[in-house]
Structure 1
Amino acid sequence: MPTAIAVTSADLVLPPTDPGTPQAAVLPAPGTQPLDASVADMQQLLARYGHVVVVCPASDPAPVEHRLRAVRGLLESDRIALVRTDLPPLGAAVLVRQLRQLAGCDLSPGVLASAARLLAHYIYAGAVLGSVSRLDRVPVGLGSHLKGWFPGAHFAVLAGPTPQMIRLGKSEESLAGPEFATELLLARGQLQTDWPASTLAPGWGIGGRPQETPLPGASPGWWGTGKLVEFAAYLPDLPVLYQLVSSVRRETCHWCAMDLIGDRCGFCAAPVAGHPVPTPARDAAP
């Protein structure tokens, strides 16, 4: 029985990569559903799948996380994992789809939940912005903020895995891209530019034409402007994802006895004593 992947917004559910990719359960926002209904929905997921991994972006409003923790507390269940991610909206949606792909494999719920942190290292998420004057989620200098007020200024910003920003047309700099084969996903806002497809994709060695998807509703707020084109480069193939996750040493959580990879349990968040935070080696990437 596959582990259920649940999300806090429909924008986090991208079209499946193949017919075998499981769907994700969309949990209604706290303002649209009473607490007892949220508890009942989670009970149904647990009854059907056994374990539930909920992906909750760190940018979600505080009541969203509070509701999830209240549901888990009322159910007194150790079979619900709350996975937080700092990725921007499109990158978070890519991460969710990768977890959905892996949910259909023979990975245990604990490994699947703790794999989110590993997979995030291999998602190159960014955007082309018409202004960075209100960008506060990616470190940029004061000079860039001031330049963000200039008419016509465009910036390419990489949020992760390593933050970076360049001003387009004024520098020979380029965004540091992946050193392994990826595909590129685009989501267009109000900014008219083809730079991600015409310049970024060839520079990063992206195979084929970038795919496009509607802009997530949370993207303008995350990036500080609606004048943007969001992008994410990612590993698309399930065999590669599976090999990446299954090659990491597994541990057993000393608190809840779940299997895990890395330094922290995905279900109870208990740390693994004596183990540093794993940083995936770039030369080990496919």
Structure 2
Amino acid sequence: MPTAIAVTSADLMLPAPDRHTPAAAVLRPPAQLDLEGSLAETAALLERHGHVVAVVPSWLPVTTVRRLHTVRAILESDRIALVGTDLPPLGAALLVRQLRQLSVCDFSPGVIASAARLLSHYIYAGALLGSVAKLDRIPVGLKAHAKSWSPGAQFAVLAHPEPHLVRLGSSGGGGGAHGAGAAALPPGPGFATHLLFARGQLASDWVTAELAPAWQVQGVLENPLPADSPAWWATGKLVEFAAAIPDIAMLYQLVASVRREQCRWCGAELIGDRCGFCAAPLVAPPAAVPGARSGNGPASRPRS
């Protein structure tokens, strides 16, 4: 059986792009399942799949994150990876789908877990917002805050991989992470992607009519808005979007091209600079030198 990819909400499980991509396992939160049930749920996954890679978004409630760590600790299992991500909800769902695609390839569980950080760099996630007055996920200038109270104001916001804010239809600066003119758009990927979008309470076709052609995406698909999106973007007046590599062959080549190492702590295979299962860094921190200064200067000579 392939490595199980787990999520904490069904909203993070997008439809499979093909018949080979398995579904994600949904680990129910504390409000839906007690600790004993969570232990049984996770233990059954381990027995069936051998390893579990759970995607843990940074915006999850503290109680849910604590439950995941508690289950892992009680089961005393080094076969459970808790992979964090800062992506907004729709972008996180795309990352989960890519991990599901890779789970049926000939990668070890350790490579799949550590590949999440690599794949995140190639996901462009943002939203069209009717207001940025309460947005605190990316830098928003005072001018953009003031203009967000104007009737009909709309902002194109890119949260990942680099923050970027554009006030649509403006003639001056965007007042956010970058200035923007009337024709400016958030910078897009320089590689082939498909674009996924989800409508909130904002009636606009800007994503499909302007953003998709400008980004030269190879496909556009609409998806229901994740339940956590309004809270993440601090408004229900939005259209969320995310672009990512859809082709499993390209994803495979991307991951396979990275040198593989063995974790010095748990022995799992990994790519990058950190183990996906135990979070140990690839290279041990340098040992303290006796007599070394506390600053960044060279160590002082030991006295005879």
Provide the TM-score with structure 1 as the length reference. Answer: 0.94
Aligned to 1:215: 225
Aligned CA RMSD, in angstroms, stands at 1.0
Question: Does residue 98 of structure 2 align to residue 98 of structure 1?
Answer: yes
* CA shift for structure 1 position 211: 0.5
* CA shift for structure 1 position 167: 0.5
Aligned to 1:85: 85
- SS of the equivalent of 1:38 reads helix
Question: Does residue 56 of structure 2 align to residue 56 of structure 1?
Answer: yes
Alignment of 1:9-88 (within 5 A): 9-88=9-88
Q: Which runs of 5+ in 1 are unaligned?
A: 276-286
Question: Does residue 125 of structure 2 align to residue 115 of structure 1?
Answer: no
- SS of the equivalent of 2:125 reads strand
- SS of the equivalent of 2:146 reads helix
* CA shift for structure 1 position 172: 2.5
Write the distance in 2 (CA, Å) between the matches of 1:139 and 1:183.
27
Aligned to 1:232: 242
Question: Does residue 287 of structure 2 align to residue 253 of structure 1?
Answer: no
* CA shift for structure 1 position 55: 0.5
Q: For residue 214 of structure 1, what is the amino acid of its counterpart?
A: P
Question: Does residue 207 of structure 2 align to residue 193 of structure 1?
Answer: no
Write the distance in 1 (CA, Å) between the matches of 2:152 and 2:17.
37
Aligned to 1:181: 192
Write the distance in 1 (CA, Å) between the matches of 2:218 and 2:112.
28
- SS of the equivalent of 1:32 reads coil
Q: Which is worse superposed, 49-58 or 140-149?
A: 140-149
- SS of the equivalent of 1:56 reads strand
* CA shift for structure 1 position 123: 0.5
Deviations 1:180-239 (A, max 9, x none): 11111010000011111000011011124x100100000000000000000011100000
* CA shift for structure 1 position 138: 1.6
4+ runs of 1 displaced by more than 6 Å? none
Q: How many residues align?
A: 274
Larger Rg: 2
- SS of the equivalent of 1:185 reads strand
- SS of the equivalent of 1:146 reads helix
Q: Which runs of 5+ in 2 are unaligned?
A: 171-181, 286-304
Query: Which structure exhibits the higher relative contact order, with contacts defined as CA atoms closer than 8 Å and separated by 6 or more residues?
Result: 1
Write the distance in 2 (CA, Å) between the matches of 1:140 and 1:119.
27
Q: Which is worse superposed, 146-155 or 101-110?
A: 146-155
* CA shift for structure 1 position 63: 0.6
* CA shift for structure 1 position 274: 6.8
- SS of the equivalent of 2:110 reads helix
Write the distance in 2 (CA, Å) between the matches of 1:218 and 1:140.
21
Q: For residue 166 of structure 1, what is the amino acid of its counterpart?
A: V
Write the distance in 2 (CA, Å) between the matches of 1:152 and 1:206.
27
Over the matched positions of the two proteins, sequence identity in percent amounts to 64
Q: For residue 51 of structure 1, what is the amino acid of its counterpart?
A: H
